[in-house]
Amino acid sequence: MRRFLCSMFVLLLAAATLPAQDQSEKVRALEQKVRDLELRLDRLATASDAATRAEVEELRRQIDVLTKEIENLKTAVPETAPSGPRGAFGLGPAASKIYGVNRGVSVGGYGELLYQNFDDRRDDGAASGRTDEFDLVRAVLYFGYKFDDRFLFNSEIEYEHGTTGAGSEAKGEVSVEFAYLDFLARKEIGVRAGLLLLPVGFVNELHEPPVYLGARRPETENRILPTTWRELGAGVFGEIGPVSYRAYVVNGLDAAGFNAGSPIRGGRQKGSRARAEDFGVTGRVDFTGVPGFLVGLSGYSGDSAQGRLAAGEDFDARVSIWDAHAEWRFRGLQLRGLAAFGRIGDAAEVNVLRNATGTASVGERFEGGYLEGGFDVLSFRGGTASLVPFVRYERLDTQKEVPAGFARDRANDVRVWTVGANYRPIPQIVLKVDYQDFENEARTGVDQWNIGLGWLF
């Protein structure tokens, strides 16, 4: 099996030798224009007079603009969708397809298959007990309707793990990932209400497989920022010059679902008869004034007791979580970094509510982050195919601090190296192969190979 996986990885890298498909004459024309401008820039770079220096600065500005346009064209999806890896208002390109139509119905979607091959042994030499798995992780449909220039509806319906059958087939589920109404007053401000994706991290809003690197979503954005996190609420969003923002009031988390390994993930209410004794606020601000560069902050804060009592006493269980994130895309280079920090107030009372003992405590503090870099080795060839070898390093601890009387589980202090490659023959389809080295302080980590196939439309 390992030989098979290594062969798949070699075949993926060998795809770089295949002729790039002729997907976009415009991309090739723009790339040629960039090369011509760079030649002119080289000839003028050593000049010292003021007029020539001004021409050099103008040439650099034109190159930056054209480079950004090429990146947008390479990541664009259907012709009616906004171009670029983020689509509109932070959503993924397919999720924001409705914003590109004039009137009426819009249909889009995405999906992914995932094969996971686990090591037979843990880091401490004991048997891993893990079974290799092949899964239709998600099959998603976006349905939207644009009433007029100001009002629209957008939704995501997700089918997970292939079936929701009874008995031994009860593995999957059907969920509404988001369903909201927008009032687009103007570019600077809009109003949104419904089941909303919280605007935290990178992947919670941008979770379409061709958009992010790796066959599996980063551990930090599964266990610290609990992708996919959505709640019922309302708020505002918009873009003011180079700054974009989103701010919502939503129903709070439910502390009864918190746990040690993924602190707040089980507390998501997902719009299903959500307890609404407590509410939270969430927001995000990003700066995108430099072509290809994004930097920002996002966060959430709210009580989560939801009217429950711990040993007959009221408590708040306030959750506060925030992250700082940055991304830079320049020609074929892709760099991304994220750091997330969280707190759960009244953690001892939450443990009483959950009947937690020993090392099963929720974390009073939890944190995680990752650095990721990749390079498109096909970026100099023209066309829209891409091959991006990448590496990602993560560090997270879901029990950075626990209440007095409880102990930390060292298995929750985790480090992950992920090395692999994404190959996109066209922008809407991706084949992913990677290897993940899991380590933790308890030495129970289990390494694995992953092969993923994803699409969007």
4 confidence band (pLDDT: 50, 70, 90): very low
Mean pLDDT value across the chain: 89
Domain presence at residue 73: no
pLDDT for 7 beyond 70: no
Total count of domains within the chain: 1
pLDDT for 317 beyond 70: yes
What is the pLDDT, as a whole number, of residue 47? 61
Q: pTM for the full model?
A: 0.82
What is the pLDDT, as a whole number, of residue 110? 98
pLDDT, tens digit, for every residue of 87-118?
Answer: 888 899 999 999 999 999 999 999 999 999 99
Domain presence at residue 234: yes
Domain presence at residue 193: yes
Domain presence at residue 29: no
Nearest-angstrom CA–CA distance, 447 and 419: 12
pLDDT for 245 beyond 50: yes
pLDDT for 339 beyond 60: yes
Domain presence at residue 343: yes
What is the pLDDT, as a whole number, of residue 402? 98
pLDDT for 80 beyond 50: no
Domain presence at residue 245: yes
Q: Which residues contact 168 (CB under 8 A, 6 or more apart)?
A: none
Domain with 244, as residue range(s), is 84-117+129-377+387-416+451-456
74 confidence band (pLDDT: 50, 70, 90): low
- Domain of residue 109, CATH code: 2.40.160.10
Domain presence at residue 22: no
Domain presence at residue 432: no
pLDDT, greater one: 62 or 415 = 415
What is the pLDDT, as a whole number, of residue 104? 97
- Alpha carbon separation from 390 to 22, 148, 222, 430 (Å, rounded): 25, 42, 20, 14
